[in-house]
């Protein structure tokens, strides 16, 4: 790989060249990172130590918190260090690692959001079959499939991207190593293979997204048939956090990768990247905990 490129490091786009704004960016990202770290660790600990939360829904939620911890730890700390030290560089190896783990956690995250939508569908639309369909073995198999698919997709993307020849410009127009920005720096025509992989994964994401939509259409149809308002409210309340999390993750991601190049600017790309890579890991534990009586009750018990 090294003999195919003259680039030994990349330069990441900063949020500002002014020292005061760089320090402000460091403080803001530090706050976001600490909130995400504390919130997700709290969810993981609560679910792991509370035996009455050992159900499929909370098992998948614990996995989602682990993913959120990993994804935000890939991008935010490096950006914070660069702002604090007033530098933009990231080594070639560091960029490879960042691409691999970022794609890995994004892929697994979306897979678990799809599984959680299916879990809600079975719980609400087929409650009599829930224990049989979502048994312990099935949950472990679905979780393992999500993690393995993330590894395979990440290896495919990373291998295709860094098989390219990079020469000349090494300025990445993003605060982390993002594949679309790296493809702009390639000086060979073989980038079409990576474009093909991106198109394949876009179709895969679209399939998962359609599965989520179909699941919730069935859920809402079933909920609206529930005679009592109290039961309808309870059913909706179990789905609302997941819908918010899906929207936070998918909407900015779709805009980032499908927006027209005519409206693509460095500042807009930075903002959109923050919305889909930094905000969800911070907000997910808050969204899932603030309206969840079981998690709040478990937290009270754990804190005495």
Residue ranges with strand state E in 171-284: 171-172
Q: Which domains are seen in the chain, by residue range?
A: 2-302 (1.20.1070.10)
Estimate to the nearest angstrom the gap between the alpha carbon of 143 and the chain centroid: 15
| DSSP summary character for residue 109 | H
Distance CA 271, CA 286 (A): 21
How many Cβ atoms sit within 10 Å of the Cβ of residue 68? 25
How many Cβ atoms sit within 10 Å of the Cβ of residue 224? 10
Residue range 128-137, pLDDT digits in tens: 888 888 998 9
Distance CA 29, CA 147 (A): 27
Judged against a pLDDT cut of 70, whether residue 25 lies above it is answered with yes
Pairing mode of beta strands 89-91, 9-12: antiparallel
Q: Record the tokens describing residue 218, joined without a space.
A: 């069935």
| DSSP summary character for residue 265 | -
Q: Does the CA dihedral 212-153-164-194 come out positive or negative? A: negative
Residue range 217-257, pLDDT digits in tens: 888 888 888 788 787 777 777 777 888 888 877 777 777 66
Distance CA 24, CA 3 (A): 40
Distance CA 276, CA 55 (A): 28
**Partners of 171 in the β-ladder:** 11
Residue range 35-83, pLDDT digits in tens: 999 999 999 998 998 888 888 989 999 999 999 999 999 999 999 998 8
Q: Record the tokens describing residue 193, joined without a space.
A: 């293979």
Residue range 127-171, pLDDT digits in tens: 888 888 899 899 999 999 999 999 998 998 888 888 877 776 788
What does pLDDT average to over the chain? 83
Distance CA 215, CA 203 (A): 18
Contacts of residue 184, Cβ cutoff 8 Å, sequence gap at least 6? 173
pTM: 0.86
pLDDT at position 18 is 83
Contact of 14 with 175, CB cutoff 8 Å: yes
Contact of 68 with 110, CB cutoff 8 Å: no
């Amino acid at each position: 790989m090294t003999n195919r490129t003259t680039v030994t490091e990349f330069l990441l786009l900063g949020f500002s060249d002014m020292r005061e704004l760089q320090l402000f960016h460091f403080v803001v990202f530090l706050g976001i990172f600490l909130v995400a770290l504390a919130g997700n660790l709290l969810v993981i600990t609560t679910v792991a130590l509370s035996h009455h939360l050992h159900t499929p829904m909370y098992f998948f939620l614990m996995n989602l918190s682990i993913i959120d911890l990993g994804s935000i730890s890939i991008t935010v700390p490096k950006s914070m260090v660069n702002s604090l030290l007033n530098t933009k560089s990231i080594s070639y190896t560091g960029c490879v690692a960042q691409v691999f783990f970022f794609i890995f956690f994004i892929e697994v995250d979306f897979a678990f959001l799809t599984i959680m939508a299916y879990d809600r569908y079975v719980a609400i639309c087929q409650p009599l079959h829930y224990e049989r369909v979502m048994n312990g073995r099935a949950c472990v198999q679905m979780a393992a499939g999500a993690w393995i698919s993330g590894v395979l997709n990440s290896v495919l993307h990373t291998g295709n991207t860094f098989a390219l020849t990079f020469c000349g410009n090494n300025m990445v127009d993003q605060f982390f190593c993002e594949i679309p920005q790296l493809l702009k720096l390639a000086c060979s025509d073989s980038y079409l293979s990576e474009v093909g992989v991106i198109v394949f994964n876009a179709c895969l994401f679209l399939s998962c997204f359609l599965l989520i939509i179909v699941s919730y259409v069935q859920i809402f149809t079933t909920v609206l048939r529930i005679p009592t308002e109290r039961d309808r409210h309870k059913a909706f309340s179990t789905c609302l956090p997941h819908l918010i999390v899906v929207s936070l993750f998918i909407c900015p991601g779709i805009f980032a990768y499908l927006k027209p190049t005519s409206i693509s600017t460095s500042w807009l790309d930075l903002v959109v990247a923050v919305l889909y890579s930094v905000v969800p890991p911070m907000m997910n534990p808050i969204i899932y905990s603030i309206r969840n009586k079981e998690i709040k009750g478990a937290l009270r018990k754990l804190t005495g």
